[in-house]
Amino acid sequence: MHHSRQKGFSLLELLVAMTILAVLGTIGFVQFKKNTAQARHIKAKSYVETVGNGLDQYYLKHGVFPDLGSYEAMVEANSPLVKQHFIPTNTPAKDPWGQPYEGTATKANYTLKCAGDPSHPDEFGPFVIEPGKYSDATQSAGPAQGGAPAGGAPQ
């Protein structure tokens, strides 16, 4: 009598394979979420630095910063930064998480702020840009990445 061996996988083999796939899927999803959060933070920094660079360019051309009471006033279509092509039209007034950017500009100074990622405040927290300064909750203050006007603003 000849016993034929059953073809296919045992239940244990299938469970091991499914467990391995679940672990790999979880690791991939966590990395995807982290990279997405990092990309949003980089995008937010880029927009704020663009406005900071526009303010610096305005200062270099006019000798003063424009007197603007809010970040929204800096990026709207009637803003001198947009009209004089120091920043692109349609620069967003809200960060990638839907929170409004904050900012003010006087003839002598400006401050631009982003609240950062509310779900990852330790890694991608708030940051502030001022002429000649950039500060981030996750790193020490250093020179502005956006570049301040040569010689700085009058104090």
In this predicted structure, what is the pLDDT of residue 121? 86
Task: Name the residue type at position 62.
Answer: H
In this predicted structure, what is the pLDDT of residue 70? 96
12-142 is classed in which CATH architecture? Answer: 2-Layer Sandwich (3.30)
In this predicted structure, what is the pLDDT of residue 142? 38
The residues spanned by each domain of the chain are: 12-142
DSSP 109-144: -EEEEE---TT-TTTS--EEEETTEEEETTEEEES-
Q: What is the mean pLDDT of each run of 10 residues along the chain (155 residues)?
A: 72 94 93 90 94 96 96 95 95 95 96 92 91 66 42 44
In this predicted structure, what is the pLDDT of residue 141? 38
